[in-house]
Chains A and B, each alone.
Chain A
Amino acid sequence: MKTRKMILLALLASVSIFSVRAQSLDEIIDKYLVALGGKDKLLALNTAVLEGAMSINGQNIQVKITQANNKAQRVDITFGGISGYIIQTRDSGWQYLPFQGQQKAEAMPEAVVKETADALDIQSPLLNYKEKGHTVELLGKEDVDGTECFKIKLVSKSGLEQTIFIDPSNYYIIKTTTKSKASGKEVVQSQTFSNYKKLDSGYIFPFSASGFGPGEVTFTKIEVNKSLDPALFKPTN
């Protein structure tokens, strides 16, 4: 009798392998938020400073990203002893890339600034997306570089369309594609993320990302919740 019970248990166990329940959008988002350290943790994320480099032909281009949640972002790029920056706040944007002789920071078109304002949300746009006014939809699964991912479409309150691909084995985002239209033409950009690591502070960040320029950016240092000088988000020339 005991044997029979064991066999039945084994049978049930093996059957359960086949009955993977379809997950709802909110279940997937909840698991994703847990994978990043949890909702409460993310709600407490106010600033982040990511330092690293983009490697091109073995030469490093230094990259530093400074983010103030929902307020502003600054990307500093240093190559060959020359530094440039891209600054974006909710109502203005500046670009200074002096690598070929640019003298003054150039303003970003207002429509672009407005459309991408929601991208300043570093806590994740999927966190409390309803309250934020975003529209989010689960579009089933799709293969991303061989991994069958959850495909989530997010249209932010500011109108930016983003498709987010989450790896079901660990609930990390491995790819996003963003469609912008504000410049008067449709532009689609893709980014991929990997090398997810937990910081001492408990936050989980991807330490490698591509699609932000030529090659892959690898971060060597990520700090969170440092106080930031507001002057960082104003152009200096």
Chain B
Amino acid sequence: MRKIHLFAISLLVCAASFAQTRVSSSTFGMMEARWLGPGTMSGRITAIEGVNADGKTIYVGSAGGGVWKTTNAGASFTPIFDKYCQSIGSIAIDQQNPNVVYVGTGESNMRNSVSVGDGLYKSKDGGDNWTRIGLDSTEHIAKVIVDPKNSNTVYVAAPGPLWSDSKHRGLYKSADGGKTWEKILYINEKAGCADVALDPSNPSIVYATTWEFRRLPYLFNSGGQGSGVYKSLDGGKSWKELTSGLPPKPFGRVAFALAPSAPNNLLAIVESRETGLFISQDGGEHWKQQSAPANIVARPFYFSVIKVDPFDAKRVYRPAFNFGYSDDGGFSFSEASNDGGWLHSDHHALWINPKNTSQLYLGTDGGVYLSLDRGGTWLFLQNLPVGQFYHVAVDNLSPYRIYGGLQDNGTWTAPSSAPGGLSNGHWQAIYGGDGFWAQPDPADPDIAYAESQGGSAGRVNLKTLKTVNIQPQAGPGDEKLRWNWNTPLVTGMYNKGNLYIGAQYLYRSRDQGSNWTKISPDLTTNDKKKQEQENSGGLSADNTSAENHCTIFTIAESPLDENTIWVGTDDGNLQLTTNGGKDWTNLSANYAKTGIPAQTWISSIEPSLFDSNTVYITLDNHMYGDHKTYLAKSADKGRTWSRLSSPEFTGFAHKIKEDLVSKDLLFLGTEMGLFATVDGGNNWFRMKNHIPDYSLVRDIKIQPVTNDLVLATHGRGIIVVDDISPMRHLSQDIIEKPVYLFESNPIVLTSGKYGDAGFPGTGAWNGGNPPSVQSIEYYLKDRVSTEEMKIEIYDESGKLIKTVPATKRKGINKVYWDLRMAAPKIASGGSKADFAALVAPMVLPGPYTIKLKLGNAEYTQAIKLVHDSTNRHFTLKDRQVQYATAMELYHLHERLAGTVDDISGNQKILADNMGKVKGARARKLLEEYNGKLEALRGSLLATRQKSIFADEQRLRERISDVYLAVCTQEAPPSNLQLERVAVLKQEWQKADERNSLLKSQYEQKVKKELIKEGLIKENQSSLQSDKGN
């Protein structure tokens, strides 16, 4: 009895707690991130497939930026996979029903930094909606193909996991459009399937290549007995290995192609002890080696594509380090030229438009290129912001600048905003190689520090881009320095003059990297077994510093004490000094007590800004096949640790960031998403906010002045969430309120940060700008669906000066008032609209009141508007004169509108009665009066303009001319603008007098005639007072 009772109560409590409003991403949904790109330097493209029937609908898959679709051959792209895993391995279109699209996640260019997938997805509506249809544990999918004659038959080549043994690899086949899968070619737990191709004339003939490969954090191997080339004649039921004429095993990766127009013609680049190009003309029964340039056969694990023109069996393409093509079936090759622009190296995807085979789309490590001459020359598509940043830094300029390094694309910098929006042209490359950490010098805005792979660091003069190499050298008695691929290069959090870099030792410089002090012993495990990188690569040597190990991977100086420095290594050591490097303590045994495995990479360390004993760390163990999200916190300087976890978390962890203002606001970046907590880590939610759900978030910064959250994503470039301050103030108390209008800081009167030169972008990527006026913010517990909602703004005297439409979304709403009053009534009619009717003077500084009206309820908040004292070209006095002048013109417009209304009103009565009057004299009188009124009206507003190219200026337009100028300028009116007001006033005065004169001349006479004809009553004083009768 008692047991049931307690159970019931706990369930009820549980139910009640579910009823409590939870903070989630949608609570802050109005904070929409900007994607800054760059598009001028894009990222690795892994798959390109087009719809054969139209030649302009093309899907592009990227290494970490999802799938983008164009329906116009590349003029514009839309991301269509933003709710799913962003690492794309392969895309396939069912060409018989091209709305059916498959996406295999997890790219298969198995470099050290490759991400992982979570299965195969299918769309039946051209990418609008997706369903995951299995193969969830394959991690990497190299190729998906649909039988060209049977839409239900689909093959998937899955190399499988890179960092561990797995049964989830091999060639899979579905005979029911992806509902069920059968593994039809499986070698062992180490070798997967890297490629599959069908004979288009007889799709029962299937070719597949298998590949044995493995990475360890410190070694790569491509090659083994599990690699091979296979053929099936019965749709994959039975297989025969093709060997005749191929080199002796072991093989590594094989790039394979058949000529669609002559499907017995096959080409294979076989990685082996003597890697080479092999050609078969009998469907693989016999092969012959063909000599080939180094570019054609180099780096087979990374360059796995070879393709033949769909109709010309002799035309062979080899996207590789450079782009090679052959006109004789692969016997000889030429290379693309750089005429028309540099073609980025490292190629992974190629689509040939079968409707026009001169038109090729190429996926490189730096984006998509388009060729219109069969690959001879290339145009770069500048509208794909899929760059792969490792780290990001910001400075304190205004606008602040963003710095970051990209995979295979160097180091770049850009302002956070710019006139016209941040576009490609605002980005500048400042350092070469693969880019990683980059740091602005805190004191000298002309200097930044950047690096390429393996710690090759430089001090860069940002004006000239001249650099000084600052990488420390080994001292006497030091071991060979071991630099991580992604070597930490960090400035001090407490003493910003400190610059740190880590090999196995930690170095500190206090003179911009000119001279260094080694401030630690070897902080790694120094395990010699993990230091044999010269043997890396397998069959082909591949030792590019990507496998360097037992190195320092992260460095953090405490923001509260210069002498407290934390260091994390790639082999699991967490080291702390509290005396500036004299003594070091390895704390890894302490975090290990929470169940985090040894030798896990320490991916980030965040010493708290609020408490010197508190520190957060993220750890990444994916290189041992473990994808768990490791995040831990210590409140006693690393002695004891607790894990922070959440069912929301996905992906191995890269970065933990504590907010600069609220100690309970934390952000976590992982390989599969950005997460936030507003309660110190008890409850986490996935940040969506126009951020792809599974973004690869490698690094996070918060800009202290603008409160922007700046993300380095490894596949979607730099993403900025402008002003996260609403996340700091949302208490549980507010969340439970149906409506809450936030208090506002004083609002600066400005028409925005930038002007507009009038030339919008021409196809390149544009990341836009943050809103440059402050918003009015309120919280709604639920969306408002059945009530009217608006915001009214009142001045100090209680006069309503503007009504602004209110947004009604659930969570925080941000409404932007342009700080102007309601626009004037403008003379109506004529032959063109006067858009001055949409512009109003900006209000003056002072106290105002906001009323949020929701049905019958009203929520009030006082706000203060202040003059923009930073604008030295526009003083408060200037503003007052500007306002007074603008208001004179505003009233002049309204007076003119009154005169025109009066004229038009009289003309309407005349027109209405024109057909009714019988007497010739009466008609003539009406016509005469109307003619004079029309002549007057025609002098007051444009009545004859017939096109936008024939500008007609009358009094209304002349007033608007100066009204618009004065209203929108942040400057006092000029002498001539002021004089102009007086002139225009006189013009209106004259017109109004003319109207009165005409009235005195005609009105009584007209009235008399109309009374006589019985058309109006005798007792009305003017013509228009009859309007209602």
Contacts and interface: CB of A to CB of B under 8 A. Distances in A.
Interface stretch (A7-15, A26-34, A36-44, A123-131): A7-15
B813 to A, nearest CB: 9
Interface stretch (B631-639, B675-683, B815-823): B815-823
Interface stretch (B156-164, B271-279, B283-291, B779-787): B779-787
Given A4-B1, A7-B5, A195-B786, A186 B71 contact: yes
Interface residues of A, number: 48
A176 B1 CA distance: 53
B442 interface: no
Nearest to A169: B782
A179 B784 CA distance: 27
Given A8-B4, A10-B8, A207 B948 contact: no
Interface stretch (A56-64, A86-94, A105-113, A226-234): A56-64
For B125, B811, B826, B948, the residue with the greatest tally of chain A CB atoms inside 10 Å of its CB is B125
Given A143-B26, A146-B26, A169-B782, A58 B832 contact: no
B945 A172 contact: no
A39 to B, nearest CB: 21
B900 to A, nearest CB: 9
A205 to B, nearest CB: 11
A167 B783 contact: yes
B787 A59 contact: no
A146 B946 contact: no
Nearest to A198: B786
B71 A194 contact: no
Contacts of B8: 7-8, 10-11, 14
A17 B15 contact: yes
B828 A146 contact: no
B441 to A, nearest CB: 42
A221 interface: no
Contact of B947 (A11, A101, A208): A101
A7 B840 CA distance: 65
B709 to A, nearest CB: 19
A133 interface: no
Contact of B946 (A18, A103, A172): A103
Contacts of B950: 101
Given A145-B29, A153-B129, A59 B838 contact: yes
Interface in A187-237: 194-197, 207-208, 215-216, 218
B809 interface: yes
Given A80-B828, A146-B29, A194-B808, A57 B945 contact: no
Given A11-B4, A57-B820, A58-B823, A101 B787 contact: no
Contacts of B12: 10, 14
A116 to B, nearest CB: 18
A156 interface: no
A218 B840 CA distance: 22
A158 interface: no
A58 B803 contact: yes
A196 B823 CA distance: 29
B809 A146 contact: yes
Contacts of A2: none
Given A146-B809, A186-B71, A81 B11 contact: no
Contacts of B830: 80-82
Nearest to A155: B125
A57 B125 CA distance: 39
Interface string A71-87: 00000000111100000
Nearest to A10: B8
B833 A147 contact: no
Interface in B26-58: 26-27, 29
Interface residues of B, number: 59
Interface in B770-793: 782-789
Contacts of A167: 783, 785
Nearest to A147: B783
Contacts of A174: 783, 785
B805 A55 contact: yes
B809 A100 contact: no
Interface in B1-17: 1, 4-5, 7-8, 11-12, 14-15
B165 interface: no
Contact of A11 (B11, B128, B782): B11
A57 B803 contact: no
Given A57-B818, A101-B832, A170 B785 contact: yes
B810 A163 contact: no
Contacts of A8: 4, 8
A83 to B, nearest CB: 10
B839 A57 contact: yes
B794 to A, nearest CB: 14
Contacts of A195: 784-789
Contacts of A172: 785-786
A4 B2 CA distance: 9
B134 interface: no
B834 A80 contact: yes
Given A58-B840, A101-B832, A207-B788, A11 B129 contact: no
Given A101-B948, A216-B805, A145 B783 contact: yes
B786 A197 contact: yes
B954 interface: no
Interface in B907-956: 945-948, 950
Interface in B951-991: none
A21 interface: no
A15 B8 CA distance: 9
Nearest to B947: A101
A99 B805 contact: no
Contact of A56 (B14, B128, B838): B838
Given A57-B823, A81-B828, A207-B788, A4 B783 contact: no
Contacts of A194: 783-785, 789, 808
Interface string A113-142: 000000000000000000000000001000
B354 interface: no
B837 A59 contact: yes
B783 A59 contact: no
Given A7-B8, A174-B785, A59 B832 contact: no
B694 to A, nearest CB: 15
A81 B72 CA distance: 40
A169 B11 CA distance: 24
Given A14-B11, A196-B785, A216-B805, A146 B27 contact: yes
B688 interface: yes
B890 to A, nearest CB: 12
Contact of A57 (B14, B15, B840): B840
B823 A59 contact: yes
B833 A79 contact: yes
A179 B128 CA distance: 10
Q: Find the residue from A7, A172, A215 having the highest chain B CB count within 10 A.
A: A7
Given A145-B26, A147-B783, 10 more contacts: A7-B5, A57-B823, A58-B804, A59-B823, A82-B830, A169-B785, A194-B785, A195-B785, A195-B786, A195-B788
Interface of B: 1, 4-5, 7-8, 11-12, 14-15, 18, 26-27, 29, 71-72, 125, 128-129, 688, 782-789, 802-805, 808-811, 818, 820-823, 826-834, 837-840, 904, 945-948, 950
Closest 3 CB pairs of A and B: A81-B828, A58-B822, A146-B810
29 contacts: A7-B5, A8-B4, A10-B8, A11-B11, A18-B15, A56-B838, A57-B818, A57-B840, A58-B802, A58-B803, A58-B804, A58-B822, A80-B830, A81-B830, A82-B829, A101-B946, A145-B783, A147-B783, A161-B125, A163-B128, A167-B783, A169-B782, A170-B786, A172-B786, A179-B128, A186-B71, A186-B72, A194-B784, A195-B788
